[in-house]
Chain A
Amino acid sequence: MLPLGDCAVLVQLGDNIDEVTHTKVRLLADYLDRHPFEGMVEYVPAFTTVTVYYDSLRLYRSYLQETADGDRIAAAAAAPASRLNAGGGGIEAEEEAYPYHVAVERLKRILRDIAVTGVSPPRMVEIPVCYGGEFGPDLEEVAERNGLSVEDVIEIHASGEYLVYMVGFAPGFPYLGGMSSRIAAPRRSTPRLAIPAGTVGIAGEQTGVYPIETPGGWQLIGRSPLALFLPEQSPPTLLEAGSVVRFYPITRAEYDRWEGRGL
């Protein structure tokens, strides 16, 4: 475990992007969903890490409450700032009371408890994609680069099963694993300034779909009519870390009928 500043702990659960590490990340994330500890604010799962944000003051006080005798609680709670300021600005408490230390101890306890719990089954999400045309201006380039026909690229892309390792960059933007290297293509040398929401792209051996309009350097191969970011709903995104994604091709007419609807 490592500090991310004075309000978060980064828990490192592996060194490589693989399914074993991903399962550990999900185990911890699931556990924190069900049993957030006192003073925890939120967590962010990534490929090999879970970062846990905490409220320093709540952690500090909950530690004092857990451990200290009544006098010390009363003293700390009654005149906190003056107490902290006394003696040259140092906290009088021992190292164990520092919020980072308290958070690490609670997370250690959680990591010990976690082995006995299971991970919830992955959620399957099927995403319709209208490939090529104005929605996928780079589809032909991806095909050419790999010595394939456009149909081959669509076939290969739509036959894969993709694991959402993490969500980041934009709301609901999935970092997907599992794309065939046969349709890999490097990022564009000049990023586009605005890529419309729903656009499906390829960058290196990764594929992904843009939930909101953003600039980006991916090769664009199609667009989905599905809304991936739904701020009024809970959860607010179609995809979460741990979801499994399949793409399937639809026609332009189907796209037009679908646009704007949710799943």
Chain B
Amino acid sequence: MSIQVKKAGLLTTVQDLGRVGYQKYGVIASGAMDPFALQAANMLVGNEPSAPGLEMTVLGPTLEFDAPHLISLCGADMTPTIDGTPVPLWRPVLVQPGSKLQLGSVKSGCRCYMAVAGGVDVPLTMNSHSTYLRAGIGGFHGRQLKADDELPVGRASTVGERIEAKLLRGGNGAGIGGGAHGGARDRAFSAAAWQPTSRMMPAYSRDPDVRVTEGAQQGLFDADTLDAFVASDYKVQPQSDRMGYRLAGPDLHMRERVELISEAVTFGTVQVPPDGQPIVLMADRQTTGGYPKIAQVISADLPLMAQAAIGANVRFRFVSLQEAQELNLIMQMELEQLQLGIRIHYI
């Protein structure tokens, strides 16, 4: 079973939840920029939340399916269609053999994730399926996808098989798809009528309000600078990538120039290089850094940051560490409940 890449899109890579345990060797974590969307996508097709899927950036790929595949698309809206019919996001979708899934330019957001039941079947490198582009390892041959690639697909879980079977029978709200008449087999695809409750979704927005906690060197910045940091829009610059978001806005000044000793940085660290323009470190960040850290994006809002497109205006707001922890726990528990709910429903 495999998926044919007809067009690769701008930057399509295989990602899971990252390379855990190797940062002490200087190996970057990588993984999905929007871990919420990837996890949700996996759960909708019966996968473990950490299964490898596709991260599609700004302009999506065109994929052809040689066999029936259960997929889901979560995250940015790239106006996906299968054989010309619009496909809903955030739902399990059974695609029939010979169908073509086409994703266009993003209408909202920046990255869309595709999970397929069984996961994209690529080998583990240092305990992860994630693509580490600069080192050329992990994912699909260590690189972004290109036309004519053939993506191997793993074996669907029991839950995945059940969801697939139900969509094939056309029961339980299935039936969105090309060709209004006839059985599921005659349509290009059938999508489930249900989706995760909107209550659990991150507050995705074109110009997101991103909550942050104090950075370790926040004290090096004067009060006016900290006021400006939260009172102003910071615009996402074109040089932003999976490594970090470069932002433009009022300069962030340190009270005095201090040489710092390098230490660990993490997903969401907001650091300020000497030019005063902040950088938010993302999935492909280096493991350590020496710039002062003014703030730290809370885990629950990393999806909002990851879906900010070039030109988006980001507004930061400080919250307490306690609130950040609560929001993170809630997000993780809700993802757990989604997985549990799907399992209970289908088994």
Contact = CB atoms under 8 A, between A and B. Distances in A.
Interface of A: 2-8, 10, 17, 29, 41-49, 51, 53, 56-57, 60, 80-81, 84-85, 89-91, 95, 98-100, 166-173, 175, 211-212, 214, 229, 231-232, 235-237, 240-241
A80 B22 CA distance: 31
In order of increasing CB-CB distance, the 5 nearest A-B pairs are A168-B288, A51-B264, A5-B296, A44-B264, A6-B324
Contacts of B265: 4
A20 to B, nearest CB: 14
B146 to A, nearest CB: 21
Contacts of A89: 326, 330
Contacts of A168: 26, 262, 286-289
B126 interface: yes
Nearest to A43: B24
Nearest to B331: A81
B261 A171 contact: no
A240 B263 CA distance: 15
Contacts of A99: 325, 329
Given A47-B263, A170-B26, A4 B216 contact: yes
A241 B269 contact: no
Given A171-B27, A241-B24, 10 more contacts: A2-B216, A5-B324, A8-B266, A10-B263, A47-B263, A57-B332, A84-B333, A231-B125, A232-B125, A240-B25
A70 B324 CA distance: 27
B125 A85 contact: no
B79 interface: no
A36 B286 CA distance: 23
Interface of B: 20-28, 125-126, 134-135, 137, 213, 216, 261-269, 286-289, 296-299, 321-322, 324-326, 328-330, 332-334, 336-337
A234 B288 CA distance: 21
B332 A44 contact: no
A132 to B, nearest CB: 27
6 contacts: A5-B267, A5-B296, A166-B262, A175-B262, A211-B26, A212-B134
A46 B135 contact: no
A19 B321 CA distance: 33
Contacts of A56: 299, 325, 328-329, 332
B330 A84 contact: yes
Given A5-B269, A57-B333, A212-B134, A169 B26 contact: yes
Contacts, number: 154
Given A4-B269, A56-B332, A81-B330, A47 B262 contact: yes
A211 B132 CA distance: 15
A31 to B, nearest CB: 14
Nearest to B23: A44
A236 B126 contact: yes
Nearest to A57: B332
Contact of A4 (B262, B266, B298): B266
A168 B23 CA distance: 8
A81 B325 CA distance: 13
Residue picked from B20, B297, B324, most chain A C-beta under 10 Å: B324
A91 B336 contact: no
B261 A3 contact: no
Contact of A42 (B24, B261, B298, B328): B24
Contacts of A91: 325-326, 329
B25 A171 contact: yes
Contact of B25 (A46, A51, A167): A167
